[in-house]
Amino acid sequence: MFHTIGIISRPRRSDLEGVVPPLLRWLEARGIRALYDLETADALHTLPKGRDRLEVAEESQLLLVLGGDGTLLAAARVAAPLGIPILPINMGSLGFLTSFKLEEMYPALQDILKGRFSCSDRVMLDVELHRDAEVIESQAVVNEAVIHKGALARMIDLQLRIDADFVCRYRADGLIVATPTGSTAYSLSANGPIVHPGVESWIITPICPHTLTDRSVVVRDSSLVEVHLSGDTQSVYLTLDGQTGIPMQAADVVRMRRSAQRLKLIQPAQKSYFEILRSKLKWGEA
Protein backbone atom coordinates (compact mmCIF):
# COMPACT_ATOMS: atom_id res chain seq x y z
CA MET A 1 0.00 0.00 0.00
CA PHE A 2 2.76 2.46 0.94
CA HIS A 3 5.72 2.34 -1.44
CA THR A 4 7.24 5.70 -0.49
CA ILE A 5 7.29 7.15 3.03
CA GLY A 6 8.36 10.72 3.67
CA ILE A 7 10.10 11.73 6.89
CA ILE A 8 9.62 15.22 8.35
CA SER A 9 11.52 16.16 11.49
CA ARG A 10 11.66 18.96 13.98
CA PRO A 11 14.64 21.18 13.08
CA ARG A 12 17.87 20.88 15.05
CA ARG A 13 16.90 17.80 17.05
CA SER A 14 20.18 16.37 18.34
CA ASP A 15 18.59 12.97 19.08
CA LEU A 16 17.65 12.36 15.43
CA GLU A 17 21.10 10.80 14.92
CA GLY A 18 20.00 7.74 16.86
CA VAL A 19 16.56 7.51 15.23
CA VAL A 20 16.70 8.31 11.52
CA PRO A 21 19.59 6.15 10.21
CA PRO A 22 18.18 2.93 11.74
CA LEU A 23 14.73 3.93 10.46
CA LEU A 24 16.06 4.37 6.91
CA ARG A 25 17.74 0.95 7.06
CA TRP A 26 14.54 -0.63 8.42
CA LEU A 27 12.46 0.81 5.57
CA GLU A 28 15.02 -0.12 2.91
CA ALA A 29 15.08 -3.73 4.15
CA ARG A 30 11.33 -3.89 3.48
CA GLY A 31 11.52 -2.40 0.01
CA ILE A 32 10.13 0.98 1.08
CA ARG A 33 11.54 4.09 -0.54
CA ALA A 34 12.25 6.77 2.06
CA LEU A 35 12.44 10.52 1.47
CA TYR A 36 13.36 13.10 4.09
CA ASP A 37 13.15 16.86 4.38
CA LEU A 38 15.92 19.46 4.55
CA GLU A 39 15.54 19.74 8.32
CA THR A 40 16.24 16.03 8.80
CA ALA A 41 19.30 16.17 6.56
CA ASP A 42 20.63 19.28 8.34
CA ALA A 43 20.39 17.52 11.70
CA LEU A 44 22.27 14.48 10.33
CA HIS A 45 25.40 15.57 8.52
CA THR A 46 26.03 12.01 7.32
CA LEU A 47 22.94 12.05 5.05
CA PRO A 48 22.82 13.39 1.50
CA LYS A 49 20.92 16.64 0.96
CA GLY A 50 17.24 16.51 1.86
CA ARG A 51 14.25 17.83 -0.05
CA ASP A 52 11.73 20.60 0.37
CA ARG A 53 8.79 19.44 2.51
CA LEU A 54 6.25 19.97 -0.26
CA GLU A 55 8.36 17.86 -2.62
CA VAL A 56 8.61 15.12 0.02
CA ALA A 57 4.82 15.15 0.44
CA GLU A 58 4.11 15.13 -3.29
CA GLU A 59 6.15 11.96 -3.80
CA SER A 60 4.99 10.06 -0.68
CA GLN A 61 1.93 8.03 0.26
CA LEU A 62 2.56 8.50 3.99
CA LEU A 63 4.37 11.11 6.07
CA LEU A 64 6.16 10.07 9.24
CA VAL A 65 6.59 13.08 11.52
CA LEU A 66 9.33 13.09 14.17
CA GLY A 67 8.79 15.91 16.67
CA GLY A 68 6.03 17.57 18.60
CA ASP A 69 2.70 19.12 17.69
CA GLY A 70 4.41 22.12 16.08
CA THR A 71 6.26 19.86 13.66
CA LEU A 72 3.03 18.02 12.88
CA LEU A 73 1.19 21.29 12.18
CA ALA A 74 3.95 22.29 9.76
CA ALA A 75 3.69 18.89 8.06
CA ALA A 76 -0.11 19.19 7.87
CA ARG A 77 0.23 22.26 5.66
CA VAL A 78 1.71 20.09 2.89
CA ALA A 79 -0.05 16.78 3.67
CA ALA A 80 -3.68 17.87 4.05
CA PRO A 81 -4.12 19.38 0.55
CA LEU A 82 -2.78 16.11 -0.92
CA GLY A 83 -4.87 13.82 1.31
CA ILE A 84 -1.75 12.07 2.66
CA PRO A 85 -2.02 10.42 6.10
CA ILE A 86 0.45 11.34 8.83
CA LEU A 87 2.02 8.97 11.35
CA PRO A 88 2.98 11.25 14.28
CA ILE A 89 5.87 10.18 16.54
CA ASN A 90 6.23 12.26 19.69
CA MET A 91 9.77 13.55 20.20
CA GLY A 92 8.58 16.75 21.84
CA SER A 93 7.09 17.35 25.28
CA LEU A 94 3.29 17.31 25.65
CA GLY A 95 2.11 16.42 22.15
CA PHE A 96 -1.68 15.97 21.96
CA LEU A 97 -1.51 15.26 18.22
CA THR A 98 1.73 13.27 18.24
CA SER A 99 0.17 10.41 20.15
CA PHE A 100 2.70 7.63 19.33
CA LYS A 101 5.73 7.30 21.58
CA LEU A 102 9.12 6.72 20.00
CA GLU A 103 9.20 3.11 21.19
CA GLU A 104 5.86 2.54 19.42
CA MET A 105 7.17 3.64 16.01
CA TYR A 106 8.30 0.28 14.59
CA PRO A 107 5.23 -1.69 15.79
CA ALA A 108 3.04 1.05 14.29
CA LEU A 109 4.93 0.89 10.98
CA GLN A 110 4.61 -2.89 10.90
CA ASP A 111 0.84 -2.62 11.37
CA ILE A 112 0.58 0.11 8.73
CA LEU A 113 2.49 -1.91 6.15
CA LYS A 114 0.08 -4.80 6.79
CA GLY A 115 -2.91 -2.47 6.37
CA ARG A 116 -3.82 -2.56 10.07
CA PHE A 117 -4.30 1.07 11.08
CA SER A 118 -7.04 3.59 11.77
CA CYS A 119 -7.15 7.14 10.50
CA SER A 120 -8.84 10.04 12.24
CA ASP A 121 -10.08 12.66 9.76
CA ARG A 122 -9.73 16.03 11.48
CA VAL A 123 -11.83 18.96 10.29
CA MET A 124 -9.88 22.06 9.27
CA LEU A 125 -10.71 25.75 9.22
CA ASP A 126 -10.32 27.95 6.13
CA VAL A 127 -9.14 31.41 7.20
CA GLU A 128 -9.18 34.51 5.01
CA LEU A 129 -7.86 37.95 5.90
CA HIS A 130 -9.83 40.64 4.02
CA ARG A 131 -8.61 44.22 3.54
CA ASP A 132 -10.36 46.78 1.35
CA ALA A 133 -12.41 44.08 -0.45
CA GLU A 134 -9.24 42.10 -1.17
CA VAL A 135 -8.07 38.76 0.26
CA ILE A 136 -4.61 39.38 1.77
CA GLU A 137 -4.03 35.88 3.16
CA SER A 138 -5.81 32.54 2.83
CA GLN A 139 -4.85 29.31 4.64
CA ALA A 140 -6.39 26.18 6.12
CA VAL A 141 -5.52 25.51 9.75
CA VAL A 142 -5.68 22.40 11.93
CA ASN A 143 -5.74 24.00 15.38
CA GLU A 144 -6.69 27.65 15.41
CA ALA A 145 -6.63 31.18 14.10
CA VAL A 146 -5.64 33.77 16.70
CA ILE A 147 -6.12 37.52 16.49
CA HIS A 148 -3.92 39.07 19.15
CA LYS A 149 -2.11 42.20 20.21
CA GLY A 150 1.54 42.83 19.44
CA ALA A 151 4.26 44.03 21.78
CA LEU A 152 2.30 46.96 23.23
CA ALA A 153 0.34 46.12 26.39
CA ARG A 154 -2.98 47.47 25.11
CA MET A 155 -6.27 45.68 24.69
CA ILE A 156 -7.70 45.42 21.21
CA ASP A 157 -11.27 45.96 20.02
CA LEU A 158 -12.94 43.20 18.04
CA GLN A 159 -16.46 42.53 16.81
CA LEU A 160 -17.66 38.95 16.36
CA ARG A 161 -20.33 37.95 13.84
CA ILE A 162 -21.73 34.45 13.28
CA ASP A 163 -23.54 33.92 9.96
CA ALA A 164 -23.74 37.74 9.63
CA ASP A 165 -25.47 38.06 13.05
CA PHE A 166 -23.72 40.39 15.49
CA VAL A 167 -22.65 38.45 18.60
CA CYS A 168 -20.65 40.87 20.72
CA ARG A 169 -17.80 43.34 20.94
CA TYR A 170 -14.67 42.19 22.74
CA ARG A 171 -12.08 44.32 24.47
CA ALA A 172 -9.37 41.78 25.15
CA ASP A 173 -5.80 40.71 24.47
CA GLY A 174 -7.14 38.70 21.55
CA LEU A 175 -9.55 36.08 20.27
CA ILE A 176 -9.02 32.41 19.41
CA VAL A 177 -11.17 30.53 16.89
CA ALA A 178 -10.29 26.85 17.29
CA THR A 179 -11.27 23.54 15.77
CA PRO A 180 -12.11 20.62 18.10
CA THR A 181 -8.57 19.37 17.45
CA GLY A 182 -7.27 22.77 18.55
CA SER A 183 -9.40 22.81 21.69
CA THR A 184 -6.48 21.20 23.58
CA ALA A 185 -3.99 23.80 22.31
CA TYR A 186 -3.97 27.60 22.84
CA SER A 187 -7.73 27.68 23.48
CA LEU A 188 -7.30 25.34 26.46
CA SER A 189 -4.67 27.61 28.03
CA ALA A 190 -7.16 30.50 27.68
CA ASN A 191 -9.75 28.49 29.67
CA GLY A 192 -11.62 27.21 26.62
CA PRO A 193 -13.43 23.84 26.79
CA ILE A 194 -12.03 20.51 25.63
CA VAL A 195 -14.13 19.34 22.67
CA HIS A 196 -14.02 15.83 21.23
CA PRO A 197 -12.66 15.89 17.64
CA GLY A 198 -15.85 14.22 16.40
CA VAL A 199 -18.03 17.14 17.52
CA GLU A 200 -18.87 19.38 14.55
CA SER A 201 -18.06 22.75 16.07
CA TRP A 202 -15.81 25.79 16.36
CA ILE A 203 -14.67 27.09 19.74
CA ILE A 204 -14.40 30.89 20.10
CA THR A 205 -12.38 31.93 23.14
CA PRO A 206 -11.37 35.46 24.20
CA ILE A 207 -7.86 36.00 25.60
CA CYS A 208 -7.86 37.93 28.90
CA PRO A 209 -11.14 39.79 28.20
CA HIS A 210 -11.81 43.12 29.92
CA THR A 211 -15.32 41.94 30.82
CA LEU A 212 -15.18 38.87 33.04
CA THR A 213 -18.51 37.57 31.73
CA ASP A 214 -17.02 37.14 28.23
CA ARG A 215 -16.64 33.37 27.92
CA SER A 216 -15.98 30.76 25.27
CA VAL A 217 -18.73 30.14 22.74
CA VAL A 218 -19.17 26.87 20.83
CA VAL A 219 -20.93 27.09 17.46
CA ARG A 220 -21.70 24.72 14.59
CA ASP A 221 -18.84 24.18 12.17
CA SER A 222 -21.20 25.01 9.30
CA SER A 223 -21.17 28.61 10.57
CA LEU A 224 -19.37 31.50 8.91
CA VAL A 225 -17.32 33.23 11.61
CA GLU A 226 -16.29 36.85 11.04
CA VAL A 227 -14.06 38.96 13.27
CA HIS A 228 -13.88 42.70 12.53
CA LEU A 229 -10.94 44.71 13.83
CA SER A 230 -11.80 48.14 15.22
CA GLY A 231 -10.53 51.12 13.27
CA ASP A 232 -8.55 52.61 16.18
CA THR A 233 -6.65 49.42 17.08
CA GLN A 234 -2.90 49.18 16.44
CA SER A 235 -0.20 46.49 16.55
CA VAL A 236 -2.42 43.45 15.95
CA TYR A 237 -1.52 40.13 14.32
CA LEU A 238 -3.33 37.16 12.83
CA THR A 239 -1.47 33.96 13.71
CA LEU A 240 -2.38 30.68 11.98
CA ASP A 241 -1.57 27.41 13.77
CA GLY A 242 1.42 29.14 15.37
CA GLN A 243 3.17 28.82 12.01
CA THR A 244 2.36 32.08 10.22
CA GLY A 245 1.92 35.60 11.61
CA ILE A 246 0.37 38.38 9.51
CA PRO A 247 0.20 42.03 10.66
CA MET A 248 -3.35 43.37 10.61
CA GLN A 249 -4.57 46.89 9.85
CA ALA A 250 -7.52 48.94 11.01
CA ALA A 251 -10.88 47.70 9.66
CA ASP A 252 -9.47 44.31 8.56
CA VAL A 253 -11.93 41.40 8.60
CA VAL A 254 -11.05 37.74 9.24
CA ARG A 255 -13.55 35.27 7.73
CA MET A 256 -13.49 31.62 8.75
CA ARG A 257 -15.45 28.63 7.51
CA ARG A 258 -15.15 24.84 7.32
CA SER A 259 -12.46 23.70 4.90
CA ALA A 260 -12.83 21.06 2.22
CA GLN A 261 -9.45 19.75 3.37
CA ARG A 262 -9.09 17.17 6.14
CA LEU A 263 -6.06 16.16 8.15
CA LYS A 264 -5.68 12.37 8.04
CA LEU A 265 -4.05 11.45 11.33
CA ILE A 266 -3.09 7.85 12.09
CA GLN A 267 -4.05 7.01 15.67
CA PRO A 268 -2.98 4.19 18.02
CA ALA A 269 -5.68 1.54 17.71
CA GLN A 270 -5.33 0.58 21.37
CA LYS A 271 -5.69 4.14 22.72
CA SER A 272 -8.96 6.03 22.91
CA TYR A 273 -9.15 9.82 22.75
CA PHE A 274 -9.92 9.94 26.47
CA GLU A 275 -6.98 7.72 27.32
CA ILE A 276 -4.72 10.14 25.48
CA LEU A 277 -6.29 13.04 27.41
CA ARG A 278 -5.78 11.27 30.74
CA SER A 279 -2.16 10.59 29.89
CA LYS A 280 -1.31 14.08 28.61
CA LEU A 281 -3.23 16.07 31.24
CA LYS A 282 -2.38 13.73 34.15
CA TRP A 283 -6.03 13.36 35.10
CA GLY A 284 -6.63 11.45 38.30
CA GLU A 285 -3.05 11.80 39.53
CA ALA A 286 -2.39 13.15 42.99
CA distance 280 to 269: 17
CA distance 153 to 174: 12
Residue 144 and residue 178 in contact, taking contact as beta carbons nearer than 8 Å: yes
232 catalytic, yes or no? Answer: no
Closest among 79, 19, 33 to 55, alpha carbons compared: 79
Could you say which of 15, 52, 69, 126 is catalytic?
Answer: 69
Angle at 255 between CA 254 and CA 256, to 5 degrees: 120
Q: What H or E segment, with its residue span, contains residue 112? A: helix 105-113
Closest among 155, 154, 198, 177 to 255, alpha carbons compared: 177
Query: Catalytic positions, please?
Result: 69
